[in-house]
Chain A
Amino acid sequence: MSDHHHKETFITKYVFSTDHKMISKQYLVTGIFMGIIGVFMSMLFRLQIAWPEHSFSIIEAFLGHHQDGGVMSPDIYLAIVTIHGTIMVFFVLTAGLSGTFSNLLIPLQIGARDMASGFLNMVSYWLFFLSSVIMVISLFVEAGPASAGWTIYPPLSALPQAIPGSGMGMTLWLVSMAIFIASSLLGALNYIVTVLNLRTVGMKMTRLPLTIWAFFVTAIIGVVSFPVLLSAALLLIFDRSFGTSFYLSDIFIQGEVLHYQGGSPVLFEHLFWFLGHPEVYIVLLPALGITSEIISTNSRKPIFGYRAMIGSIIAIAFLSTIVWGHHMFVSGMNPFLGSVFTFTTLLIAIPSAVKAFNYITTLWKGNLQMNPAMLFSIGLVSTFISGGLTGLVLGDSALDINVHDTYFVVAHFHLVMGVSAIYGMFAGVYHWFPKMFGRMMNKTLGYWHFWITAVAAYGVFFPMHFIGLAGLPRRYYSNTAFPLFDDVADINIVITLFALLGGLAQIIFLANFFISIYKGKKSEQNPWKSNTLEWTTPVEHVHGNWPGELPTVHRWAYDYSKPGHDDDFVSQITPLKEGEEES
């Protein structure tokens, strides 16, 4: 790279940086900031669910005119639920997770000096930043932010008469998401091009670490599905602002008939879930990739079934684009279509099962190094299984009928994509923190962070299945209107207490993270004794990653405890010994 000795100012180094390592940190910090908002919101609405009608000074303090004497209004309850979902799914687990680790690891683990286009990468981050700012601004709109659920189904999201949040709040939501999608596409295209073109000598596709495979495939699904959400959002903007009828028809609201004719909300549902379901895997696959790497390194064992793992990533990615209809079994679409989607959906269980079994087998007869990243990775496998299995109920059209949109769904997806992906993100932060900041995070705080979070997460989401099976719909401001649900009140209190516990436990992480940036112990070059290329770069960041020549790769990333070697790890840059077979 020609600009090795290019003079850097504060602005080019920390603000408008084109260095993938800096951009990755920018993504992470922005993601953490959004995460704080998202988690805090969940704590607020859990207070409402557990103690409806009870006055809380914290609610009085935060919700301004949206509350009355410390009790939130139903409108703002729905708004907080909506924004919690939006922020966690898109801003934390898509941009925060994928943006951080794809940016950090793709060039470092494939042996490249930077992303294919550093400039586009920078633009991608700043678009994400802009969309975050707009989303946060939308919280302060007079009538409240978007409140039609994170799925923003019209007509609710299209008509301010139906819910106040569908006025300016929804407009800002749509603008923010449109910018977010642009950011996401620029990022994804960059990842794809970089992985395909900039791998160093010897880095065959079949030698790539599973992290890179996961990021690569994730980027492909993003490119395939995000544009569809963009078009869905554009058509919604047309319906809202220019009087078209893509999604609306025959509407009578507040005493008057609206002019809309011939549109269908079901069309929106199709377009939304064409992104929405792949989105689940956009969130989850990077976390699984990170877990593969960390479990293998810390088990001091090769990941079991490397090729099967790649195969299942690809299979999951392919299937993820043809299963969206399982969110719509009771939408009124043709029941035959439901049958098809049941079939494709349950097919996904096969590659998912392969992945779970392979993780467990990787642990078998390992020599497990219990670093915080490893704890979170094992935790991920556990929640991935717990949450994935209930997918067999929800993915089966017949069974979905009675649990659709109940708390059973909430429990399912929080475990399988929410908690799992967050665990993956934490694991990644603990593991690659030394690579990002040249310092280490504290392990004791990491242990406390993990165990409290793990207990809290199951404490929240395990009992929640039962509330759903009792027939309680999600997104209810309060259950007091139904004596039938009086007996879930106690469980809701338990869940809320665990949620508060889990939320507060994140303070430990935040303290560890921010203090370690400045005061953490200086990192060695390869603290986890890992094989991958990023640990062959100097601790102090240099533009271009490697000071001299790019490394040459001679083997796959998983030669841990290989017989015939003294150490229990063999870096990818170590040539094969004479007579040694490549694994």
Chain B
Amino acid sequence: MTALLYVLLAIVVAVAIWQIASIFNLKGVIATEKDNNTQGILFALFGIFFYGLMIFSFWKYSVILLPESASAEGEKYDTLYLITMLLILVVQAITQFLLFYFAFKYRGVKGRKALFYADSHKLETIWTVVPAIVLAGLVLYGLTVWNDVMDSSDAENPLIIEVYAKQFQWEARYAGNDNELGLANVRNIKGINTMGVDMTDKNALDDIPTRELHLPKGRKVIFKFRSQDVLHSAFMPHFRAQMNCVPGMVTEFAFTPSMTTDEMRVNEKTVAKVEGINKIRAEKGEDPYVFDYLLLCNKICGASHYNMQMKIIVEEEDQFNTWLASQKTMAQVVQ
């Protein structure tokens, strides 16, 4: 594949140079009937290339796509996504076909007169009203999902975690036994208190700082995001979750993990994807890769933006509780 493209590239450059050399014969400037014919046929061929590229891409690249959502909210996302994509593909297939087909079919012929057809209220009404109706449906559906995802006020006993961003590292803070995060401000950053937690606030004492994100399956997690320097974006693609981390304010996002890391590792799509990755890694002589959920930075934040990540581990609630209990609280860490 790669070699072929190199060859194509070389051919193109050669042709280009040859053509440039022949430019001094500049007589051909306006399309003749012969040009119309050739170019019309080329549009038909291009249409075939276009559909070929689409089909090839879907066939070849589907395996690299994200597996199904690992959060309850993300499942609604996936359905909405699927419907929207189908709609897009149908419209795309029809309109592009018409475009290339007309370019081919009506390529100019000498002496033929085009149809003088300037207006049709009927047609225009159809293609104003039909998209309007379809879009109204899409908007309503989309907004329902949006409100479901963004509104976490009715969550029962949610877990509250602060995710803290800085160049080029993530940290986290669990709210502890009282499930309430202590106050924090960058002005309190000192030594081991890297997130600037206000230790005079009694809610802060039982907070638990960590460098790894553990989440319990089946319990709603409300994330509170902060950043200490520039904009970052907490992106957790497997959970269909993303929110910017903004210095000077606290932003929020919530979801309910629905698949543990172990479950996701044996998920059919994940297995196929990991197999593909490991084949590539084996060729390069690298260690095999084992799937893990990730938190990535998705807002340009500086030189090492491309390597700002934190591992996420989703586990059963009792395992999670055991893990959390083994972590030191802020009070223990700072003293």
Report 12 cross-chain contacts, Cβ distance below 8 Å, ordered by A residue.
A156-B300, A251-B248, A305-B124, A332-B252, A350-B128, A363-B102, A367-B109, A370-B40, A398-B145, A402-B74, A451-B46, A504-B12
As a 0/1 sequence over residues 432 to 445 of chain A, the CB contacts with chain B under 8 angstroms (1 = contact) are 00000000111111
* Contact in complex: A252, B189 (CB < 8 Å): yes
- Residue of chain A at shortest CB distance from B288: A483
Given the complex, which residues of B lie within 8 Å of A477, measured CB to CB?
303, 305-306
- Whether a CB of chain A sits under 8 angstroms from the CB of B298 is yes
Given the complex, which residues of B lie within 8 Å of A459, measured CB to CB?
53
CA distance A248 to B2 in the complex (A): 47
Contact of B127 among A78, A357, A479, A520 (CB under 8 A): A357
CA distance A520 to B30 in the complex (A): 12
Given A264-B246, A346-B138, A370-B40, residue A153 in contact with residue B231 (CB < 8 A): yes
- Residue of chain B at shortest CB distance from A454: B46
Nearest first, the 7 A-B pairs at minimum CB distance are: A249-B248, A471-B237, A370-B39, A332-B251, A440-B29, A335-B150, A252-B186
* Contact in complex: A512, B23 (CB < 8 Å): yes
Binds A, one of B62-70, B154-162, B174-182, B206-214: B62-70
* Contact in complex: B167, A469 (CB < 8 Å): no
CA distance A439 to B99 in the complex (A): 31
* Contact in complex: A367, B302 (CB < 8 Å): no
Min C-beta distance of B219 to chain A, whole Å = 21
Interface size class of B (residues with CB under 8 A): 35 or more
- Whether a CB of chain B sits under 8 angstroms from the CB of A302 is yes
* Contact in complex: B289, A378 (CB < 8 Å): no
In A484-501, which residues have CB < 8 Å from any B CB? 484, 486-491, 493-494, 497-498, 500-501
* Contact in complex: A364, B106 (CB < 8 Å): yes
Q: Footprint of B on A, CB under 8 Å?
A: 73-75, 78, 148-149, 153-156, 159, 162-163, 248-253, 257, 262-266, 299-308, 330-332, 335, 338-339, 342-343, 346-347, 349-350, 353-354, 356-361, 363-371, 374-375, 378, 381-382, 385-386, 389-390, 392-393, 396-399, 401-402, 404-406, 440-445, 447-448, 451-452, 454-455, 458-459, 462-463, 465-467, 469-471, 473, 475-479, 481-484, 486-491, 493-494, 497-498, 500-501, 504-505, 507-508, 511-512, 515-516, 519-521, 527-528, 558, 560-563, 568, 583
As a 0/1 sequence over residues 213 to 238 of chain B, the CB contacts with chain A under 8 angstroms (1 = contact) are 00000000000010011110101011
Q: Footprint of A on B, CB under 8 Å?
A: 1-2, 5-6, 8-9, 12-13, 15-16, 19-20, 23-24, 26-31, 35-36, 38-40, 42-43, 46, 49-50, 53-54, 57, 61, 63-66, 74, 76-77, 80-81, 84-85, 87-88, 91-92, 95-96, 98-100, 102-103, 106-109, 112-120, 123-124, 127-128, 131-132, 135, 138-139, 142-143, 145-147, 149-151, 166-167, 185-187, 189, 196, 225, 228-231, 233, 235, 237-238, 240-244, 246-249, 251-252, 273, 276-277, 280-281, 286, 289, 291, 294, 296-307, 309
* Contact in complex: A442, B186 (CB < 8 Å): no
* Contact in complex: B42, A451 (CB < 8 Å): yes
CA distance A393 to B74 in the complex (A): 15
Most chain A beta-carbon contacts within 10 A, residue among B231, B233, B252: B231
Given A156-B302, A252-B196, residue A519 in contact with residue B142 (CB < 8 A): no
Given A470-B64, A471-B66, A476-B305, residue A445 in contact with residue B23 (CB < 8 A): yes
CA distance A364 to B105 in the complex (A): 9
Given the complex, which residues of A lie within 8 Å of B15, measured CB to CB?
448
CA distance A466 to B227 in the complex (A): 30
- Residue of chain B at shortest CB distance from A249: B248
Given A74-B304, A360-B95, A486-B277, residue A397 in contact with residue B142 (CB < 8 A): yes
Contact of B64 among A163, A252, A487, A497 (CB under 8 A): A487
Given A74-B303, A332-B249, A369-B36, residue A392 in contact with residue B88 (CB < 8 A): yes
Given the complex, which residues of B lie within 8 Å of A365, measured CB to CB?
106, 114-115, 117
Given the complex, which residues of A lie within 8 Å of B306, measured CB to CB?
74, 475-479, 481
Given the complex, which residues of A lie within 8 Å of B252, measured CB to CB?
332
- Residue of chain B at shortest CB distance from A364: B102
- Residue of chain B at shortest CB distance from A370: B39
* Contact in complex: B139, A404 (CB < 8 Å): no
CA distance A401 to B210 in the complex (A): 26
- Residue of chain A at shortest CB distance from B5: A497
Given A368-B36, A487-B273, residue A504 in contact with residue B118 (CB < 8 A): no
Contact of A343 among B106, B114, B139, B166 (CB under 8 A): B139
* Contact in complex: B116, A561 (CB < 8 Å): yes
CA distance A257 to B249 in the complex (A): 16
Min C-beta distance of B321 to chain A, whole Å = 28
New A-B pairs, 20, CB < 8 Å, besides A156-B302, A467-B64: A156-B300, A250-B228, A303-B118, A342-B142, A359-B99, A361-B123, A363-B103, A366-B102, A371-B31, A378-B103, A382-B50, A385-B96, A389-B88, A393-B88, A399-B84, A404-B233, A462-B53, A466-B65, A507-B16, A528-B30
Given the complex, which residues of B lie within 8 Å of A249, measured CB to CB?
247-249
Given the complex, which residues of A lie within 8 Å of B80, measured CB to CB?
396, 398-399
Given A302-B118, A494-B1, A527-B29, residue A330 in contact with residue B113 (CB < 8 A): no
Min C-beta distance of A521 to chain B, whole Å = 5
Min C-beta distance of B31 to chain A, whole Å = 5
Given the complex, which residues of A lie within 8 Å of B281, measured CB to CB?
483, 486
Contact of B143 among A252, A342, A497 (CB under 8 A): A342
Min C-beta distance of A416 to chain B, whole Å = 13
